[in-house]
Chains A and B, each alone.
Chain A
């Protein structure tokens, strides 16, 4: 029964990874860039909720809304200021290093504003959860809510991409930027929308993550960010269901290895998986092999 409990905790953590990985994979698929700062948007989202809820005493729903909108604006602004000027640069290193710079900037700005000491985050989910089998199985409310939110985000995103004009434009830009421009698609606008969606998802992930692990420091975003990238590669980068499957798998593996192998080495195990995936199947579970044109 305790195994089942760990499994559910794993799925809950995995849902958080999946939501982050969705943002990663969308940006990578459409803008063809690795947004290192994506993880730090999570951190910004958590601090926004913390300051509006715990410090300013606003209603939880209102503070989540503030965090989502704040991160959305942040994502679009960083794209406009730091990444867009480098589109079409002769070296792909340039935008990668800029993204690292943005990530570093966000971390150190929050370090200056909020200080290095961890802040206690009050969970926005007050529901205690359900107890099954006469108390043998206790499922925390946060876990249930996290998994449900993950599913809603997945299906919402799928529907958005399939059934809206902006979503179709995203698919077109992901396939061929030049041809999309010729069809009258505003590539810059489409990429900005991608960043907006990805960053607001990161804010949601931040709230869920901090509801489960309730301490915030300026560095909390980095690790989940990297693990979400591993999840995106695992599921096949650029694929939305792949990001979901990758995230869930990774969450379960992390919790189980933390429980049954070693708590100190669980991160190492997750990264070892990345290396194995790259060795065996570099395109990931659901990724497509793309022929390279000269």
Chain B
């Protein structure tokens, strides 16, 4: 009884303990301000890594545009908060910002999924990559604002004219500014726990088993009556939605989003992929641990920063070769068998 509870909920307890420890240390003033400022980003990168692992590990489709979904969530959540800054109380507004951010990210995930998930092959990787670039380009070019005359949308700064009392929402490359700072470590941990609960629950459900069956053998899954496209869409949309939630946390933490290409570029998507690969593809809890450690390590050891990307690249290649190469697998199997016979023989002699 205790064992099953430990197995099922042990990781949640570890996270809660971690939260407790950090909060207590923070209240006692034992954390440097630099370290405390890393705690919230750590949670949203962990959430985004879980989202990507749902797509890569559970669904078995590679996405390299998950930073794009984060970007959608960040912008839509921030714009909602800006619009309702005076109308709604802080807590409710932040909750609704999550709803809006998640909804928009899910919608885009759904739309991206339609052309791609019907196909077999590696198209999702390239389309998500393209999507990430489109989002980045469009959001950097667009000017959006509201005033008494209605909504203004323009691609050109010179034609973008607003009444003096108007509210500028997106200011081209200068992005969105003035988002209320609602994100905190506690909120981040709560969203992370909810995400983990959702994804674990999904994996244990009938839908989850269908999704994993498609990953393991698409044709066999189809033959047993599983609607392949529908379940792929389901998993991908949920994955995009979770990344959107991470984005909302992001925008309500940094408050000013200028030069978004620094945050939501190809590198950001690759970084998430490194978290997933290092934590173990398909291992949801592993992604959380890998994201937290890998996020903190280079931040705390600034000297590594120059070589961080290079190390990431080598980690990606080596992890793949060690875990998946048939030759390496065969050698590992033989080594295991060899050690086993040696050990049993040694045991007999003793």
Contact = CB atoms under 8 A, between A and B. Distances in A.
Contacts of A108: 309-310, 313
Interface stretch (A90-98, A125-133, A145-153): A90-98
Interface in A91-128: 91-98, 100-102, 104-105, 107-109, 111-112
A73 to B, nearest CB: 18
B137 A104 contact: no
B304 interface: no
The DSSP consensus for interface residues of chain B is helix
A205 B155 CA distance: 33
Contacts of B273: 97, 100
B119 interface: yes
Contacts of A279: 114-115
A294 interface: yes
B138 A96 contact: no
A86 B316 contact: no
B219 to A, nearest CB: 5
A294 B219 contact: yes
Given A85-B321, A100-B270, A267 B137 contact: yes
Contacts of B321: 82, 85-86, 98
Given A97-B316, A104-B312, A86 B325 contact: yes
Interface in B304-321: 306-307, 309-310, 312-317, 320-321
Nearest to B57: A93
B320 A105 contact: no
A176 interface: no
B233 to A, nearest CB: 14
Nearest to A78: B317
B164 interface: no
Nearest to B315: A101
A129 B56 CA distance: 50
Interface in B266-318: 266, 270, 273, 277, 281, 306-307, 309-310, 312-317
Interface residues of A, number: 47
Interface residues of B, number: 50
A278 B155 contact: no
Interface in B197-234: 219
Contacts of A272: 134
Given A34-B126, A85-B328, A265 B155 contact: yes
A96 B62 contact: yes
Contacts of A214: none
A91 B266 contact: no
A134 interface: no
Given A34-B122, A88-B326, A268-B134, A109 B310 contact: yes
A274 B127 contact: yes
Interface stretch (A1-9, A177-185, A222-230): A222-230
B61 to A, nearest CB: 8
A229 B64 CA distance: 15
B313 A93 contact: no
A29 B313 CA distance: 26
A110 to B, nearest CB: 11
A164 interface: no
Contact of A105 (B115, B118, B317): B317
Nearest to A275: B115
B126 A274 contact: yes
Closest 4 CB pairs of A and B: A101-B316, A94-B324, A271-B130, A105-B313
Interface of A: 34, 36, 82, 85-98, 100-102, 104-105, 107-109, 111-112, 222, 226, 229-230, 233, 262, 264-265, 267-268, 271-272, 274-276, 278-279, 282, 292, 294
Given A90-B324, A226-B126, A282-B118, 9 more contacts: A85-B325, A94-B320, A100-B270, A104-B313, A233-B123, A267-B133, A268-B133, A268-B137, A275-B115
15 contacts: A34-B125, A85-B321, A85-B325, A85-B327, A87-B326, A88-B326, A93-B56, A105-B317, A112-B306, A226-B133, A264-B155, A268-B134, A274-B127, A275-B112, A292-B120
